[in-house]
């Protein structure tokens, strides 16, 4: 059976009876059984639940927005009754007694839950290598990392082990693996999608997004997951940004300076040419403050991590603190230090002040442009093991994505071609808070002119 | 240039309720010092007249009615389902007070 590539193809196939929901589940499970032992994209495959969901989709319930759409959840999303580990030994036996808001909403929209995906433990990492359940491999070349932290979710969509997958993005954890795996990765505005029932990493930075093959599907999923649930006090309604037909995109000159791989730069310049042909205007902009984004991210994020991971003491669930892996320990230690008496002002408070400066600079910039175009990562996918012993160099690979989290603005990573080695490269669009419509519109324009997103790895 | 001492690292570990081996203490001493040194670049930024930003929503004091939502409550069994350290339908926790 030929698997559908989009939500629309899934729904059409079901309506025209080209396949049933149960047959869809059969096909995805078959692929998971065949490819997952090597790719290691899944921690838990929820076969029983998938068939249960599929059987509920009778002929009467084909009109829901995601009827028959097979979804995989990053293993940070609580799924009632299905083991949820955060890819950490601390939670290796944890079975949640409730589901995350996003899980509930996708389920109510007709989606089928196929399983829980691997990631860097507690979402700490940019390569997928920090998982206590083994590394995930890039389906385009198994010697390379798939990116992280939402490694398994990106691989799941890229290797057609599910149609869509959820992720969390605290410093680039959706956009970067999407770019490494040739799928669309979408990070919404902070406060647009509920974090309720998602294992917390860094509470002022965490955003809940997803992976799809097309930008149009990213839009459809966002329209289901967004909005208040009365359970996450940071949520607010999107303000309407009136419909636009003429766009101006800013090119931040600091993002195309030293440290950017020439192949990555080339792909982004090609994307700019695609847009120019469609009449979209470009303008050089300067964001001098963003050079400090990495420093303040690696102060604020570990500080919030040390606080959020403080609750894991094996009393109500999970194992004791000795079960934390080395990256979690490193971040708890760093965070505890920058918050500790005598250092709080020098590190944490200073970081919050520079955060204000970055936000002010972006606000000013967005008065003159509708969006920004940028690299996702300074290089294409790197080799497994290449950066594991050097945490600072691993941290620096977040340089182009963390600004989006610091400012709470939305971003999307879109497939833009391949390196000479045949590895995927994406480009990133970012916009002001609640400018998702603009990003989706721009993303759709690009995908209507290109077909990189339709290319699949030979696995 | 930041150079943490072994005592610094042991103190942080104690605050964080983590037990480190000697080898781990040495490793984190080097790695954390390197990361903290990187942060020195922030001294270049003048923040004398800048207010800190702790969150980006612009929202303040979000409240709700203090009423019970029956859809948001767990049964005793559900609430205790994540642990086997249970006594008389309560979580059994490590003692934090001395007898005297």
Range of the domain at A36: 7-291+352-454
Nearest to B53 among A340, A355, A392 (CB): A355
Q: DSSP assignment, residue A4?
A: P
Q: What is the pLDDT of residue A60?
A: 66
Query: A30 pLDDT exceeds 80?
Result: yes
Which residues of chain B have a CB within 8 Å of the CB of A305?
none
Question: Would you say residue A241 has pLDDT above 70?
Answer: no
Pairing of strands A371-375, A424-430: antiparallel
DSSP-derived secondary structure letter, A455: -
pLDDT of residue A59: 63
DSSP A378: S
Task: Express each pLDDT in A175-212 by its tens digit.
Answer: 999 999 999 999 999 999 999 999 999 999 999 999 99
Q: Which of A427, A436, A315, A313 is nearest to A375 (CA)?
A: A427
Residues of A in contact with B25 (CB under 8 A): none
Instruction: Quote the strand ranges of A174-312, DSSP E.
Output: 184-187, 207-212, 248-252, 281-285
What is the tally of structural domains in chain A? 1
CB burial of A253-277 (b: ≥16 within 10 Å; e: otherwise) equals eebbeeebeebbeebbeebeebbee
> Is A49 annotated as catalytic?
no
Residue extents of the structural domains in chain B: 6-44
- The CATH number of whichever domain residue A30 belongs to comes to 3.90.1300.10
CATH 1.10.20: does it fit domain B6-44?
yes
Report pLDDT digits (tens) over A107-154.
999 999 999 999 999 999 999 999 999 999 999 999 999 999 999 999
Residue A242's pLDDT is 64
**Mean pLDDT score of chain B, rounded to an integer?**
92
Residue at token pair 């860097």: A120
Burial class (CB in 10 A: 0-12, 13-18, 19+), A14: buried
What is residue B71's predicted lDDT score, i.e. its pLDDT? Answer: 84
Note the pLDDT of residue A214.
98
B12 contacts on A by Cβ (under 8 Å): 333, 336-337, 340
- pLDDT for residue A243 is more than 80: no
- Alpha-carbon gap, residue A336 to A331, rounded angstroms: 8
Residue B66 DSSP label: -
How many angstroms separate the CA atoms of A363 and A140, rounded?
38
The arithmetic mean of pLDDT across residues B4-9, rounded, is: 97
Give the minimum alpha-carbon distance from A9 to chain B in angstroms, rounded to a whole number.
35
Residue A240 pLDDT grade (very low, low, confident, very high; cuts 50, 70, 90) = low
Tens digits of residue pLDDT in A298-347: 999 999 999 999 999 988 899 999 999 999 999 999 999 999 999 999 99
Is A239 within a domain? yes
Q: What percent of chain A has pLDDT over 70?
A: 98
């Amino acid at each position: 059976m030929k698997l559908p590539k989009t939500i629309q193809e899934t729904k059409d196939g079901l309506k025209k009876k080209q396949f049933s929901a149960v047959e869809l589940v059969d096909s995805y499970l078959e692929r998971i059984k065949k490819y997952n032992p090597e790719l290691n994209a899944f921690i838990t495959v929820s076969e029983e639940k998938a068939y249960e969901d599929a059987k509920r989709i009778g002929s009467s319930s084909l009109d829901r927005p995601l009827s028959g759409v097979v979804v995989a959840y990053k293993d940070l999303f609580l799924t009632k009754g299905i083991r949820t580990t955060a890819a950490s030994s601390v939670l290796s036996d944890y079975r949640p007694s409730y589901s995350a808001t996003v899980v509930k909403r996708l389920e109510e929209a007709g989606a089928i839950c196929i399983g829980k995906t691997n990631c860097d433990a507690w979402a700490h990492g940019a390569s997928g290598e920090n998982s206590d359940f083994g590394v995930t491999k890039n389906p385009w070349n198994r010697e390379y990392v798939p990116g992280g932290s939402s490694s398994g979710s990106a691989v799941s969509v890229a290797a057609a082990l599910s149609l869509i997958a959820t992720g969390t993005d605290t410093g680039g954890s959706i956009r970067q693996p999407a770019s490494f795996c040739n799928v669309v990765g979408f990070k919404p505005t902070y406060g647009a999608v509920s974090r309720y029932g998602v294992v917390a990493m860094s509470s002022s930075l965490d955003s809940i997004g997803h992976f799809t093959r097309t930008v149009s599907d990213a839009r459809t999923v966002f329209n289901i997951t967004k909005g208040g649930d009365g359970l996450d006090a940071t949520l607010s309604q999107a303000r309407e940004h009136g419909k636009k037909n003429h766009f101006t995109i800013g090119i931040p000159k600091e993002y195309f300076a030293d440290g950017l791989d020439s192949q990555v730069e080339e792909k982004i310049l090609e994307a700019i040419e695609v847009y120019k042909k469609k009449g979209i205007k470009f303008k050089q902009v300067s964001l001098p403050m963003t050079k400090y984004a990495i420093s303040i991210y690696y102060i604020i994020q570990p500080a919030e991590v040390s606080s959020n991971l403080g609750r894991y003491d094996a009393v109500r669930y999970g194992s004791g603190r000795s079960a934390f892996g080395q990256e979690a320990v490193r971040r708890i230690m760093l965070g505890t230090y920058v918050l500790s008496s005598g250092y709080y002002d020098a590190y944490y408070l200073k970081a919050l002040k520079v955060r204000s400066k970055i936000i002010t600079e972006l606000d000013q910039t967005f008065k003159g442009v509708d969006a920004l175009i940028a690299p996702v990562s300074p290089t294409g996918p790197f080799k497994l093991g290449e950066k594991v012993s050097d945490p600072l160099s691993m941290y620096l690979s977040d340089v182009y994505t963390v600004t989006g989290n610091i400012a709470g603005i939305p971003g999307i990573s879109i497939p833009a071609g391949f390196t000479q080695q045949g590895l995927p490269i994406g480009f990133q669009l970012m916009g002001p808070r609640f400018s998702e419509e603009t990003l989706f519109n721009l993303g759709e324009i690009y995908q209507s002119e290109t077909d990189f997103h339709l290319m699949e790895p030979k696995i | 240039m930041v150079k943490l001492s072994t005592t610094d690292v042991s103190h942080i570990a104690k605050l964080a309720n983590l037990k480190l081996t000697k080898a781990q203490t040495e490793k984190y001493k080097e790695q954390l010092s390197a990361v903290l040194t990187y942060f020195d670049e922030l001294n270049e930024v003048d923040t004398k007249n800048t207010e800190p930003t702790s969150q980006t929503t612009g929202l303040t004091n979000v409240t709700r009615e203090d009423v019970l939502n029956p859809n948001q409550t767990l049964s005793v069994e559900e609430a205790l389902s994540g642990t086997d350290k249970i006594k008389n339908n309560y979580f059994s926790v490590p003692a934090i007070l001395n007898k005297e």
